[in-house]
Amino acid sequence: MKHIILFEDYQGIYEYIDFILCDTNEKLSSQTIIDKFNLVLNKIKDFSDNRKRKILTYLISSILSMTSINDVIKSVNHVRDPMLIQITNQMQSKYKDPTELSISENGEYNIKKFEKIRLKAYEVSYKHKKKKITDKKITIGYGHAEPVKTSRFRVGDVIDIRTANNLFKEDINKTHKYLQHIFKEWKREGVDIKLTQNQYDAIMSVAFNVGGSALKRSEFMNHVKNGDFETAAEKLLTTRVSKKFPGLSIRRQSEADLFLSSM
């Protein structure tokens, strides 16, 4: 049975919005979005323009966490409310074709913060059934890793900060190219998604950490492909997090927060 939410002032409308969206069991189709817009517009018809703007901005942002900007635009154009159209157009400017994006300075800073600089080459090792296991890679700089057999480095080699930054740029460019390959492949399949700069930076951070192939196979990326950004952020929290790498949970939380921050 449906619950009835009553509110005496405009603050209660936010609880109402959360309720009608959480109460949505079906996929957020264009018609579903249209219905939600009309429900809220009817509730706020007597509110001041300033209050309407704040409420509609909250409503659109909430819906954008559940579907793509393209679906929202289609629905808004059908509803034809001038303020709704204006706010959506303003929000739309933040969303870009991912094939036109590259990582920002802030995105690079965040990756460096989590990778941490190591100027002395080392091999990652961990214990498994009381045995010491290595990843068979030489790591140096900001998480730059190369297979032991073909590495330019040996354990104990030391580099300077400039070399570390050059290696970091190599890895960023490599990660960017792989991401572009994924997004272009989606386009050929007819998938048309739009991302904010923060979302792209978050995806770059995950790819830099787990590798392009693992990213492509992840549940996180599957939900990004479907435009379900809220579920994508939830799946991101557990991507490659395990007993072997428990510290990744802090990084994943930061990436998920960044992914949702500008929606």
* 137 strand-pairing partners: 147
Q: Which two tokens stand for residue 261?
A: 């921050």
> What pLDDT was estimated at residue 1?
34
CATH class of 98-115+161-261: mainly alpha
HSE-CB at 252 with a 13 A cutoff on CA atoms is 18
The predicted-structure confidence for 9-30, as pLDDT tens digits, reads as follows 556 888 889 888 886 655 678 8
The predicted-structure confidence for 95-145, as pLDDT tens digits, reads as follows 999 999 999 999 999 999 999 999 999 998 766 666 777 778 999 999 999
The predicted-structure confidence for 228-239, as pLDDT tens digits, reads as follows 898 999 999 999
The predicted-structure confidence for 151-191, as pLDDT tens digits, reads as follows 999 999 999 999 999 999 999 999 999 999 999 999 999 99
DSSP SS3 for 119: strand
**Residue 2 clears pLDDT 50, i.e. is over it:** no
DSSP E strand boundaries for the chain: 118-122, 125-128, 131-134, 137-141, 144-147
Instruction: Give exposure, 27-59, as e/b (b: 16+ Cβ within 10 Å).
Output: ebebebbbebbeebbebbeeeeeeebebbbbeb
> What pLDDT was estimated at residue 128?
64
DSSP state for residue 158 in the 8-state scheme: B
Question: Do 196 and 226 form a contact (C-beta atoms < 8 A)?
Answer: no
Residue corresponding to tokens 């018809």: 45
The predicted-structure confidence for 190-221, as pLDDT tens digits, reads as follows 998 899 999 999 999 999 999 999 999 999 99
Residue 131 vs residues 127, 134, 241: alpha-carbon distances, Å? 5, 10, 21
Q: Which two tokens stand for residue 130?
A: 């009381």
> What pLDDT was estimated at residue 157?
98
Residue spans per domain, the chain: 12-92, 98-115+161-261
The residue among 114 and 246 whose pLDDT is bigger is 114
Residue 2 vs residues 5, 44, 114, 194: alpha-carbon distances, Å? 10, 21, 45, 34
Question: Do 233 and 218 form a contact (C-beta atoms < 8 A)?
Answer: no
> What pLDDT was estimated at residue 23?
67
> What pLDDT was estimated at residue 129?
66
* 147 strand-pairing partners: 137
> What pLDDT was estimated at residue 3?
39
Residue 100 vs residues 90, 200, 225, 240: alpha-carbon distances, Å? 19, 10, 16, 28
> What pLDDT was estimated at residue 15?
87
Q: Which two tokens stand for residue 191?
A: 């998938």
Q: How far apart are CA 232 and CA 56, in angstroms?
A: 24
Task: Tell me the pLDDT band of 5, cut-offs 50, 70 and 90.
Answer: very low
Distance from the Cα of residue 27 to its chain's centroid = 20
